[in-house]
Amino acid sequence: MAEIEIIEDAADEEIADFLVRSLSGALAATDQPVAISVPGGSTPFPILELVAKAEIDWARVTVWPGDDRVVPEDHEASNAGKIRALLEPAGAEVVALTVMEQVPHFTLVWLGMGADGHIASLFPNTDPRIDDPAPVRRLTPDPLPPEAPFDRITLTMPSLLDTDLLMFVIRGGDKRATFDAAAAGESDLPVARLLGAARQKVTCFT
């Protein structure tokens, strides 16, 4: 089970500062490019707007969506399209997920979580495995979320765990209860499987 640090009531600015410090430290430690993975949904983008303004060597940063909806990038539901619009002007390379992707080792993986315990697009019905041999999968959530009723493409558990740093942003009491139960090993939801297999420190902002 991972060591989990909970940072309560974190403002967007505090989360952005953590991301900038983590990225800056990783870039200072190597002259090679670094890769990070970030989530979609409504919570990340105000934080990413702050991160995009930071003085970072963005030309050495590759940004991967943790998952995406199977829609064109100019569709309002596309995570890659929104991430690209924010971070490519800063100089970052943004990857569009495909099932044949060669997924790198990540410096940081940032995850959200649904109230049902899903992470990325690894929903409970998809039975995500820690030993999944595929780095990326195309999946159909069941039930389909009404706000985004699309097939998904997602990094798998091994890809999400292949990272130096693992962080969550969990907003809302129902999600916090699900996360706490998973952290205590009291469920078999996707988030619980991930936390149970994580060997790096996990930082969770609420």
Give me the domain span that covers residue 28: 4-205
Using pLDDT thresholds of 50, 70 and 90, give the confidence band for residue 115: very high
pLDDT at 2: 77
Overall number of domains in the chain: 1
Query: For 123-178, what is each residue's pLDDT tens digit?
Result: 999 999 999 999 999 999 888 888 889 999 999 999 999 999 999 999 988 999 99
Mean pLDDT, the chain, integer: 95
Q: Could you write out the DSSP letters of every residue in the chain?
A: ---EEEETT--HHHHHHHHHHHHHHHHHT-SS-EEEEE--SSSHHHHHHHHHTS---GGGEEEEESEEESS-TTSTT-HHHHHHHHHTTTT-EEPPP-TT-----EEEEEE---TT--BTTB-GGG---TT-S-SEEEE--SSPPTTS-S-EEEE-HHHHHSEEEEEEE--SHHHHHHHHHHHTT---SHHHHHHHH--S-EEEE-
**Gyration radius (Cα) of the chain, Å:** 16
Using pLDDT thresholds of 50, 70 and 90, give the confidence band for residue 1: low
pTM (predicted TM-score): 0.95
Sign of CA dihedral 59, 109, 141, 148: negative
pLDDT at 68: 96
Query: For 39-98, what is each residue's pLDDT tens digit?
Result: 988 899 999 999 999 999 999 999 999 999 999 999 999 999 999 999 999 999 999 998
pLDDT at 144: 86
Task: Read off the pLDDT of each residue in 6-12 and give the average, rounded to a whole number.
Answer: 97
Which of 37, 3, 44, 49 has the alpha carbon at shortest distance from 169?
44
Domain of 190, CATH number, reads 3.40.50.1360
